[in-house]
C-alpha cells in the first residue's frame, strides 16, 4: 500500500510540474487605422513572435468601415467591423515573415508577422 501511495504522489507531483511548464499564450494587439491622406494601414506594422508561441491577436478596426484581416500562411481570413474587436488565435508553427493584409481593400498598407 505504501509503494502504491508513493507512486501516486510522485505521479501527481510530476503532473503538477509539467502543467507549470506549459506556455502561456502570447497576446498582441493590432488595429486597422486611417493614415490621412492615404489609405488605411495596420498599427503596429510588425508583430514579432517566436516559433511555437500560441498567439492571440486582438484585432480592432478604428475606421468607420469594415476591413479585412488576413494572414494566408496561417489560413486566417476574417472581417473586422468598426468598434467590434475580434480575437484571432493560432500557433506560430512556421518561422518566417508573413504578410498581414486587408483582403477587402488591396490598396491598404500591409503589415508583417515575423516568427523567429
Q: In the chain, where are the structural domains located?
A: 23-115
Residue 116 has pLDDT above 80, yes or no: yes
Q: How far is CA 80 from CA 37, 54, 100, 101, in A?
A: 22, 21, 14, 12
- Is pLDDT of 111 > 60? yes
CATH number for domain 23-115, candidates 2.70.98.20, 3.30.70.360, 1.10.357.10, 2.60.40.420: 2.60.40.420
> Which tens digit of pLDDT belongs to each residue from 6-49?
554 455 445 544 544 556 788 988 877 765 556 788 889 999 99
Residue 100 grid cell: 498581414
Length of the chain: 116
The four Cα atoms 60, 63, 66, 72 give a dihedral, to 10 degrees, of -50
| Structure confidence at residue 11 (pLDDT) | 53
Q: How many CA atoms lie within 13 A of 99 on its CB side?
A: 9
Q: Three-state DSSP class for 74?
A: helix
- pLDDT 10s digits, 50-72: 999 999 999 999 888 899 999 99
pLDDT at 1 over 60: no
Q: Are 50 and 25 in contact (CB under 8 A)?
A: no
Q: Give me the pLDDT at residue 23, please.
A: 66
Confidence of residue 108 (pLDDT cuts 50, 70, 90): confident
- Residue 104: is its pLDDT beyond 70? yes
Which residue in the block uniquely carries the three cell numbers 516559433?
51
Amino acid at each position: 500500500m505504501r509503494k502504491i501511495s508513493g507512486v501516486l504522489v510522485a505521479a501527481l507531483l510530476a503532473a503538477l510540474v509539467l502543467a507549470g511548464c506549459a506556455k502561456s499564450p502570447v497576446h498582441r494587439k493590432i488595429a486597422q487605422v486611417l493614415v490621412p491622406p492615404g489609405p488605411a494601414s495596420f498599427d503596429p506594422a510588425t508583430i514579432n513572435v517566436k516559433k511555437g508561441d500560441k498567439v492571440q491577436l486582438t484585432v480592432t478596426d478604428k475606421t468607420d468601415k469594415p476591413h479585412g484581416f488576413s494572414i494566408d500562411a496561417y489560413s486566417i481570413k476574417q472581417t473586422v467591423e468598426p468598434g467590434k474587436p475580434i480575437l484571432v488565435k493560432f500557433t506560430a508553427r512556421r518561422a518566417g515573415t508573413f504578410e498581414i493584409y486587408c483582403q477587402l481593400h488591396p490598396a491598404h498598407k500591409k503589415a508583417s508577422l515575423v516568427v523567429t
